[in-house]
Structure 1
């Protein structure tokens, strides 16, 4: 077992990004159906995409419904202005296509593949983190999907077959993501079950769980489509209001241990039930009117993002001003405190305490064998640390 520890002054789960920045790269992944985007079909949408993505500020974006490769230079110049981005080479398949954008300061694009289905290609993008400041290199594989649309048993079966095509070709890299426009109408659909069931070819985890349903007020916070009803121009698209969770990000079991679940966001969805109504009917409480207008015009889908942690770096936890210390010791961690019976706790990225107790000796062992691999906050007395197990 390899354990990496970083000493920090403050540990707050809701600000994990800043807490872990020195120990590993916290990477924001985003999926966005960009509604038949090409320069020829921009329809005034570039400023809207720029406003949206410069607010979200993802490090990696996978786009669906790409109609032409000219999205690459256009977005790098005029949309993703907050970073140093590159795009994947455009591959023109059947129907609309996929495109990857990634921060060149964080990643190298290793390769990409396509898997054909009866309707359109599924894209695979393999990224490697850059080695910086001693950070170990990680590889992440991202699958971008745009499954068959429309309700009904035949369409659901086709979505299931498309997902099976992906899973039959999935790589064995531990860190993998399936993201995109799934077009599913519930968790009982074959496509969702093929990806998330415990007995599937390779299991992926929905960070938000599998209890959500469509078009029901109590689950309104999950919905990503449609942002509008009747809207002239703005790339076309469909109406119908916000009542479906079509856009999802699911992660491999290994990556789930490094997924900051609290960051999973359907950007622009404030959780207010507006079934079959537009994003501002009733008034949106999480983004202002200008952002609502941007989201409605840019696409009929909301972007979805989540933060994951990649890479790790060896770091000392020794702090001469503190009465508590922490060090790895085989399959255990040793904690030390000059104050007898100091409380200690281990907390995962969801804020759940997975172990706790009090120091009993000068060096108290904490057995980590039963705790899954992942990223944890460790508190011993007044000393706090972020640990990658």
Structure 2
């Protein structure tokens, strides 16, 4: 394989980035009793691989046990991905737990403070477990005159099948509806959680999508039906990643859609009428799910769960699926949101100097980078995929040469650029 030196030129002229600045990535993840579930060891390292790959701007979670776990996650995100991550205030469950002790299962959000500021957070009690409401303001160029707000609600409905559990889930949703009746009906709302629903006909789900409600939710995946054990919905299955016992959580293999990101109708722009803040069409995805029908009832690490050569779906590598397998019995759900304003831009850098990446632009494991350490010390490079998703942040230290591990990235084309300067992105191809 021929080697070539790839130059990334820092121009005096502001070059418009090829990557959109008005779209952000949202992810919801059931953390499986984190950090109390201690098998396998060092689960935080597996979470780091997952989050470094997807780079969520908004990370919504349930089954977080305690503030110690929350702090370990935010510290990892700041150190491994982006120092600008922040988290909302950690709150213990306040709802009546007479049905079962739920005070060790909390909800929380983590967010990119360059893109959002936390305006408020409210606990929404139900008969069983809290919902948590976080109001975020987008840090956009028009925020003084035309501010954009996003209401994020995270929940975890009662688990298990059966009429009694279905009724408990319905009552929890009805408690949420009572709270939502006090909000303006045009608010932009994300509702994320582990809803433990087996089919869309269940009354709890029907209540959420009821068009007569003050606020009606929709499914951005547009996958309404009977999900349980139905391979027609394999692409939205989120549980279980495992058939093996001894790791906590469910072990039934891949056969259920329990995890969701729903949006209020005000975030649906399919008719072109809701243009200020809306979900990107066809961006709903279960992270780690290769939509391979052979994965039914399998471990997510099985060869049966590998990519199925469908050009319309993203391929998730074995390395990513192993990290997901080891961290939780659930897969995360992701969604991209687009705003009609750009996020506040970063300062423009005015110099004609350059730095260079030395090595082949067809890379399997390691990207070799050489920089002017006086100019770029303690700054970052970013790697984006072709969807414009930030997949890795490379912190630059005081040395001139850097060896960057990209072995865990999925095969495909990537762009290298920096958040601190206006630059023309550099391309490389990741292969096995």
Same fold flag (TM > 0.5): yes
The equivalent position to 1:272 in structure 2, one of 274, 292, 297, is 292
Greater percentage in strand? 1
Separation in 2, partners of 1:87, 1:19? 26
Question: Normalising to structure 2: TM-score of the pair?
Answer: 0.64
Determine helix, strand or coil for the equivalent of 2:281.
strand
Please state how far the C-alpha of 1:254 moved relative to its aligned partner. Answer: 1.1
Gaps of 5+ in 1: 1-8, 11-16, 315-389
Determine helix, strand or coil for the equivalent of 1:91.
coil
The equivalent position to 1:241 in structure 2, one of 232, 253, 258, is 253
The equivalent position to 1:36 in structure 2, one of 33, 36, 39, is 33
CA 130–185 in structure 1, closer or farther in 2 if over 3 Å, else same: same
Separation in 2, partners of 1:139, 1:272? 37
String of CA shifts for 1:182-208, please: whole Å, max 9, x gaps. Answer: 000010011111111212231111012
Separation in 2, partners of 1:77, 1:310? 28
Note the 1:107-186 alignment, pairs <5 A.
107-132=116-141, 136-170=146-180, 171-172=183-184, 174-186=187-199
String of CA shifts for 1:158-178, please: whole Å, max 9, x gaps. Answer: 111111111211222521011
CA 272–120 in structure 1, closer or farther in 2 if over 3 Å, else same: same
* Bigger shift: residues 280-289 or 296-305: 280-289
Residue of structure 1 in register with 2:427 after alignment: none
Separation in 2, partners of 1:125, 1:138? 14
1:255 aligned onto 2:284: no
Residues 140, 342 of structure 2: 8 Å contact kept: no
Separation in 2, partners of 1:283, 1:210? 20
Separation in 2, partners of 1:199, 1:289? 44
CA 175–89 in structure 1, closer or farther in 2 if over 3 Å, else same: same
String of CA shifts for 1:230-254, please: whole Å, max 9, x gaps. Answer: 1444xx2111111111001110111
Separation in 2, partners of 1:227, 1:181? 15
Residues 168, 201 of structure 1: 8 Å contact kept: no
Count of matched residue positions in the alignment of Structure 1 and Structure 2:
295
Residues 240, 251 of structure 2: 8 Å contact kept: yes
Please state how far the C-alpha of 1:218 moved relative to its aligned partner. Answer: 2.1
Please state how far the C-alpha of 1:118 moved relative to its aligned partner. Answer: 2.2
CA RMSD of aligned residues (A): 2.4
Determine helix, strand or coil for the equivalent of 1:261.
coil
Please state how far the C-alpha of 1:134 moved relative to its aligned partner. Answer: 7.0
Separation in 2, partners of 1:134, 1:244? 41
String of CA shifts for 1:107-128, please: whole Å, max 9, x gaps. Answer: 1111111122222111111111
Please state how far the C-alpha of 1:270 moved relative to its aligned partner. Answer: 1.0
Note the 1:78-89 alignment, pairs <5 A.
78-79=76-77, 81-83=80-82, 84-89=84-89
Separation in 1, partners of 2:35, 2:332? 18
Separation in 1, partners of 2:200, 2:69? 33
Note the 1:211-226 alignment, pairs <5 A.
211-214=224-227, 215-226=229-240
Determine helix, strand or coil for the equivalent of 2:147.
coil
Determine helix, strand or coil for the equivalent of 1:309.
strand
Question: Normalising to structure 1: TM-score of the pair?
Answer: 0.71
Please state how far the C-alpha of 1:41 moved relative to its aligned partner. Answer: 4.0
String of CA shifts for 1:348-373, please: whole Å, max 9, x gaps. Answer: xxxxxxxxxxxxxxxxxxxxxxxxxx
Note the 1:12-51 alignment, pairs <5 A.
20-21=20-21, 25-38=22-35, 41=38, 43-51=41-49
Separation in 1, partners of 2:164, 2:143? 51
CA 174–19 in structure 1, closer or farther in 2 if over 3 Å, else same: farther
Determine helix, strand or coil for the equivalent of 1:48.
helix
The equivalent position to 2:335 in structure 1, one of 299, 306, 309, is 306
Separation in 2, partners of 1:168, 1:262? 31
Residues 86, 112 of structure 2: 8 Å contact kept: yes
Determine helix, strand or coil for the equivalent of 1:93.
coil
Separation in 2, partners of 1:90, 1:248? 22
Please state how far the C-alpha of 1:310 moved relative to its aligned partner. Answer: 2.6
